[in-house]
Structure 1
Amino acid sequence: MSIDQIKAEARRAAFAARKAVFGSGRDAAAQAHLTAALAPFGAAPLSGYLPIRTEIDPVPVMASHPGPVGVPVILGAGQPLDFHLWTPEAALVEGPFGAKVPAEGVTMAPRVVIVPMLAFDARGYRLGYGGGFYDRTLARLRAAGPVTALGFAFDAQEQAEVPTDQFDQPLDGIVTESGLRLYC
């Protein structure tokens, strides 16, 4: 079985696990832990995301962040993400894959990135939707200077080991409703 097939199987299981806990009221505890995990970074530029499907919701944490906040924008297949400034009042338009993006495309460079996912493991690796956008983006950001990547997920999304290849970027930590797990 190829790595792509193995990842596809892992994604199917991960979608089901995430869907099973979505809407169960666990977001608030995870959001409190995310707020605490971000506190040491002060007003550093932050990128979050506007949730789609059954993703855990970081928006309340993003809205309370004291510094600039951006959200990811897909520029095209095979490219890293761009980040555009976001506020809770920002006008949004439909972006690729159903994600909303700010109508005004003012770019920003995050120092901390909140990363969505389907699954994660104890090594700090994540399984995304398969486009490689965050892996390319984290590689680019890390090459330019220090950046902290924090995954945000439900405990139920943890797998024994997510399948990885040479392009997968590990996260520095993952925040769930149980707290922060640091890896790097």
Structure 2
Amino acid sequence: MNIKKSKLISRKNFSAIREKSLKRNELKIYNNVEYYLKKNFRDNSSNLKKYIGIYWPLAGEVDLRELKDTINASFALPCCEFKGEMQYRDWTNEKLNKDACGIPAPCKGKLIKPEEMRIIFVPALAIDKKGFRLGYGGGYFDRLRENKSWRSILSFAVLPGECVSKAPLPLDPWDIPFDGWITEDGEHQIKT
């Protein structure tokens, strides 16, 4: 079976698993992301100057937006300005607009450089034990992380534990592994 078909089947399977599991575990997952941030990024002047990258949740994804109200830090959201390319922008209290993918984003917000980010949280359908994430097939995060400055930023997938695949996920040559994941069971960082 070719990789494209294999990924399509995996997306369908893990989408169903995530939907069932998220109903039971979303609050625990959210609390674990919040705990991770509070434990590892205590309020100090150098941390407050760097951004935490989260995402605007689509159906079936863990909603992390409340972190903006509970963590004393600056937040950034992804923004697709044209098909295939994604950037992070400062998420202030200004009105969000739909980006090129139709997702609410701070399209006119300050463009964030990689050195201004401290961590990125990304939604996922699945992730395997080596950190390879299964997304929706657009490749936005892989294209962003092709740049080694973006790849150097600590990046975690956020998903239910049932979506951590014991078997390797199908891979394309351009897939880039993440540093770990956060589930209802806590944070798991991949040892390199």
Q: Do they fold alike, i.e. is TM over 0.5?
A: yes
Alignment check: 8 A CA contact 1:31 1:60 kept: no
Q: Distance in 1 between matches of 2:19 and 2:150?
A: 36
Per-residue CA shift, 1:118-139, capped at 9, x if unaligned? 1111111110111111011122
Farther-moved stretch of structure 1 (115-124 vs 27-36): 27-36
Q: Distance in 1 between matches of 2:174 and 2:27?
A: 33
Give the drift of 1:144.
Answer: 5.9
Farther-moved stretch of structure 1 (115-124 vs 57-66): 57-66
2:154 counterpart of 1:132? no
Per-residue CA shift, 1:150-183, capped at 9, x if unaligned? 1111112222321112211111110011100110
Q: Which residue of 1 aligns with 2:184?
A: 177
Q: Which residue of 2 aligns with 1:54?
A: 60
Q: Cα gap change, 1:125/1:103 in structure 2, threshold over 3 Å: closer, same or farther?
A: closer
Q: Size of the alignment, in residue pairs?
A: 180
TM-score (norm 1): 0.87
Q: CA RMSD in A?
A: 1.9
2:171 corresponds to which of 164, 170, 173: 164
Q: Distance in 1 between matches of 2:19 and 2:171?
A: 23
Per-residue CA shift, 1:4-50, capped at 9, x if unaligned? 111111111111111112333x2221122112222323433111001
Alignment check: 8 A CA contact 1:151 1:175 kept: yes
Q: Distance in 2 between matches of 1:35 and 1:48?
A: 12
Q: Which residue of 2 aligns with 1:74?
A: 80
Alignment check: 8 A CA contact 1:77 1:131 kept: no
Identity among equivalent pairs (%): 25
Q: Distance in 2 between matches of 1:91 and 1:77?
A: 22
Contiguous gaps of at least 5 residues in structure 2: none
Contiguous gaps of at least 5 residues in structure 1: none
Q: Which residue of 2 aligns with 1:27?
A: 26
Q: Distance in 1 between matches of 2:137 and 2:37?
A: 27
Alignment check: 8 A CA contact 2:83 2:101 kept: no
Q: Distance in 1 between matches of 2:104 and 2:111?
A: 15
Matched residue of 1:5: which SS?
helix
